[in-house]
Structure 1
Amino acid sequence: MTRLSVNINKIATLRNARGGDIPNVVKAAVDCQRFGAEGITVHPRPDERHIRYQDVRDIKPIITTEFNIEGYPSQSFIDLVLEAKPNQVTLVPDPPDAITSNNGWDTIGQKLLLKEVVKIFKDKGIRTSIFVNADVELVKHAADSGTDRVELYTEPYAVGYPLNKAKALDPFLQAAIAAKEVGLGLNAGHDLNLDNLRYFTENIPWLEEVSIGHALIADALYLGLENTIQMYLKQTKGY
């Protein structure tokens, strides 16, 4: 069944808006784990506008569930990941000024870079995932980097879902099939929510992990964090 990793960046954004340590990001990670999350995801950016590098250092020794660090492989990011030694690193092609991740890697044109970075992490026993668009060729070329998994960028699915869910899903299903054929594990994330998540996971049953932050934390404002995580788990588990 698909694992649910909770991205806690938005909790860090709220803390940083006021300064101080409320809400406490480490406590939030522990609470998400206690409430059933099967992973914790963080995405530190160079300006540390939400998750800070120190947050990564503080969270890693405290949680016992899977820890996934996302980000662009700058030297400072690589150094942080090698220091923290998470279960998984997800490589995302974000420029420094990106508001949020909005595109996958060009796994053809940037293959050499990806190969070099993937090797660095895999040599240290860290599972790697590459953020990609739902494009069969890009998924196939991702395998050449040596990565363990790809993460499908699902915003186009979320946008198309209310209009025609089968049509919205189709390119992601084809990309997922391609990943399976070339031996890549499969993750997904971006704008998945309580409305569209179940259909996605039911139709791609070999999907290993979804990383969800913005929608889940927004839902938690109304529904409570524990209840919200349980609701998302119901979508990923099909009950």
Structure 2
Amino acid sequence: MDKTAACRVLLVDDHPLFRRGLAQLLEDSPHFTVVQELENGNHLLDALHSQQPQLLLLDLNMPQQSGLELLQLVRERQFPVRIVVITASEDDDDLFRALAMGADGFLMKDTAPAEMLESLQRAMTGKIALNPDSVDRLAQSLRETATTNSQNPALSSTGNHPTSALSPQPYTPDLTARERQTLLLIAQGLNNKLIARKLGISDGTVKVYVKSLLRKLDLHSRLELAAWVHKHPDATSLEL
């Protein structure tokens, strides 16, 4: 099998059986090639330098350094690699923190093989790789957060954010009032048609606002916009 153009993958997981199984799944695909496997993060930076992978797969719960600690380390060093967390954890905090720290995906270890490959390919195209259940969990939490903030404006203005696992960040981007309103409605799970109806504008205008938000916030998808609101709760303290 010619893998000249295959995505180079570095895999870090302390469970040998799962690690070998995932590596075999990737090797059987024409789209991926595993350049190295690690059982912990001790030699991760060396491997990133020597192997120059395009995709890093991180287990979440590992001894010595957790997947989140390694994720933060890699992002701080600004390695040009896409990172997907693969875990058995169903904790919402883990999901939100991973996305907030720059993960390009969060997949469960019991994901079906075909779905796993499809999701990882999606991550390599600049999209967020999530299982349907994780999407539902994220959307539900965002809706609850938006509702809480709208009912308790003081929480947004002081930075308190009881339903979010993420540390509040100062709101700094220069967004227009309409862009902020659009951002809030995206966080509530509304599609463009419903946003247009809510704001009394056309679908085309909403698309312009969404593109502007992605550009100004340096994001790539609506899901990333919603996750951004989780990091910046003060961005949802809007009057509609």
For this structure pair, what is the TM-score category when the shorter chain's length is used for normalisation?
0.3 to 0.5
Q: Which has the higher helix share?
A: 2
Point out which structure has higher relative CO (alpha carbons under 8 A, 6+ apart): 1
Q: TM-score, normalised by structure 1?
A: 0.33
Q: TM-score, normalised by structure 2?
A: 0.33
